[in-house]
Amino acid sequence: MELFDVAIIGAGVVGAAIARELSKTTARVIVFEREADVAFATSGRNSGVVHSGIHYAPGSLRARLNVAGNASMKDVCKNLNVPFEQIGKLTVAFDQDQVSQLHRLRAQGEANNVPGLELLDATRMQTLQPGIAGIKGLYSPTTGIVNPMLLTIALAEHAHENQVVFKFLHEVKAIGSHYDEPLVMTCATPTGEVSYKAKVVVNCAGLHAGKIAMLTGFDSYTVYPCRGEYFVLDKQLKDELNILVYPVPGAHSGGLGIHLTKTTEGNILIGPSNEYIDDGDDVSSTKAIMKQLKEEGSELLPSLQTGDFIRSFAGVRPKLTPPELGGYHDFVIEAQEDIPRMIHLLGIESPGLTSAPAIARMVVDMIDSHIPLSLKRHWSETFKENTNLYRRCYPLSHYDLSDRQELMRSNSDYGTIVCRCEQISKAEILSAIDRIFGPITLNGIKNRSRISTGRCQGGFCIPRIVTILKEYHDIGSKDIWWKGPNSPMFIGNLRTAGGSDNE
């Protein structure tokens, strides 16, 4: 059975960040992911906000890791070529009670060492965001936005480039531990069970971290799934929002309230809602919440029209507080007392995306206390030159009209538009497929290139991408999945009028 120094369970942003941090060392590291790709769970389904750190109690892990993660994010994104913008945020008060909450938030933020916080009156708020409602606002200039899928993908790709082994479609089902012996993990894979040994195991399985913890008898916490639904607005509205706009959060709400955020691609998001559910894998959108989001979004942005709402999605928070309590629990990042080489990360809800780089440093320090780690002699913060095609292939939208013509002359694939809504060319799709983990799922290509995220919802582009995938990998339609083996895109043949079978 193959032995590794460290095994990481879960390739969300936290697992990927830990893997990258460990790739600086000579440790042999393996990552198990039950899905076919990285960022298929909560890390690919959130607001993408790099929070400043005003919302969490001073001294808590969430406050410390949030502020430290925020401070690292700019460099991480620059080094890994991930879209990040520090556009700032206004938390808006509509009455005097909420104004006192803003004072409390500012004091809390200052205690957490959040830089640059300012209370603004209505006139100054208008200069930052014309048309904004509210009587006072707390401005936090260090709040930013990041593409959470590309961040997770890039962290994992960089770790892989630095010798970390990734095993997709490997679901950890059992963990055996004997005093002072390496832990044995048994994974279910499409071809049967396989086992690996590791000296230290890090459980960062997100919504399933509670189940993994139970496998080694760590039952101090329960994970409660709490869904947040979003509406996505058409990119035409991108200039309507210069800055992120949040309401003052309610004392017991388990989220930050319905807010307006912008993606790094220019779509405005309205959401997320806050609803405890039974099944953490249930990411459906519901009619009732969609109605609520439309109403609350229109209050924050009065010019909104029905036609501006183009699609919806949802993500699920792994909360440690039960529905009757609401609110938040601090992040749990603990070595198990009776098996100290088993490290559990539980309740990594917001601001887990922001905190990921700082969580990674903390976990690597914990690992170092069990197995002393040595740094590699050669490790670079950036990808190797020309690691893959993507880094040489910027989206078409990156270029102005005259440069686009030049580009198409040099590479005719830029002249074939595959996704009309987002103006994505065949060159961009090929570069998404040709990346380190070479996704064969449509969701993986979507996370890398934004296909099917526009108004037509994939009606135009998906058949074209299927053709490109078939040609590139020389596979049949039935081998193409949306997310994995349980979601094939095609399940049979259609008989045509002429009697021949069509896939």
Q: Please identify, among the stretches 5-13, 134-142, 242-250, 393-401, the one whose residues bind ligand FAD according to the rule CB under 6 A.
A: 5-13
Task: Draw the binding track, 266-305, toward ligand FAD (x: CB under 6 A; -: no contact).
Answer: ------x---------------------------------
Q: Is 101 a residue that touches ligand FAD (CB under 6 A)?
A: no
Contact between 208 and ligand FAD (CB under 6 A)?
yes
Q: Which of 171, 240, 368, 434 lies at the binding interface for ligand FAD (CB under 6 A)? A: 171
At 196, which helix (H) or strand (E)?
Answer: strand 192-203
Given 8, 12, 117, 391, the residue binding ligand FAD (CB under 6 A): 12
Q: Which of these ranges, 12-20, 129-137, 371-379, 407-415, lies near ligand FAD under the rule CB under 6 A?
A: 12-20
Selected binder of ligand FAD within 5, 35, 157, 428 (CB under 6 A):
35
Do residues 330 and 62 lie in contact, with contact meaning Cβ atoms separated by under 8 Å? Answer: yes
Question: Counting contacts by CB under 6 A, is residue 172 touching ligand FAD?
Answer: yes
Name the 3-class secondary structure at 239.
Answer: helix
Interface residue with ligand FAD among 40, 56, 390, 414 (CB under 6 A) is: 40
Separation between Cα atoms, residue 239 and residue 236, nearest integer Å:
8
List Cβ neighbours of 142 (8 Å cut-off, separation of 6 or more). Answer: 52, 70, 86, 88, 114, 115, 116
Element (H or E) spanning 472, and its range? Answer: helix 461-473
Listed residue (112, 38, 102, 106) closest to 71, CA to CA: 112
Interacting residue with ligand FAD among 5, 21, 275, 349 (CB under 6 A): 349
Helix (H) / strand (E) element for 359: namely helix 352-368
Of 22-30, 41-49, 320-328, 460-468, the segment contacting ligand FAD by CB under 6 A is: 41-49
CB of 93 to ligand FAD, least distance (A): 21
- Whether the Cβ atoms of residue 38 and residue 203 lie closer than 8 Å to each other: no
Q: Is residue 427 a contact residue for ligand FAD (CB under 6 A)?
A: no
For 420-445, the three-class secondary structure string (H helix, E strand, C coil) is CCCCEEHHHHHHHHCCCCCCCEHHHH
Where helices occur in 49-128 by DSSP H, the ranges are: 61-80, 96-111, 122-128
Count the site residues for ligand FAD by CB under 6 A: 40
CB environment 345-365: b (16+ within 10 A), e (fewer): bbbbbbbbbbbbbbbbebbbe
Q: Does 315 bind ligand FAD (CB under 6 A)?
A: yes
* Smallest separation (angstroms) from ligand FAD to the CB of 339: 17
Site for ligand FAD in 227-256 (CB under 6 A): 228
Q: By CB under 6 A, is residue 353 in contact with ligand FAD? A: yes
112 binds ligand FAD (CB under 6 A): no
Minimum distance from CB of 496 to ligand FAD (Å)? 39
How many Å apart are CA 396 and CA 393, to the nearest integer?
9
> How far is C-alpha 146 from the chain's CA centre?
9
What are the residues whose beta carbons fall under 8 Å from the beta carbon of 25, sequence distance 6 or more?
Answer: 364, 373, 374, 375, 376
CB of 413 to ligand FAD, least distance (A): 31
Is 398 marked active-site? Answer: no
Q: Does 32 bind ligand FAD (CB under 6 A)?
A: yes
Choosing from 51, 160, 329, 344, which is the catalytic residue? 51
354 touching ligand FAD, by CB under 6 A = yes
Catalytic positions are 51
Chain residues in the site for ligand FAD (CB under 6 A): 9-15, 32-35, 40-43, 46-49, 51, 171-172, 204-208, 212, 228, 272, 315-317, 348-354
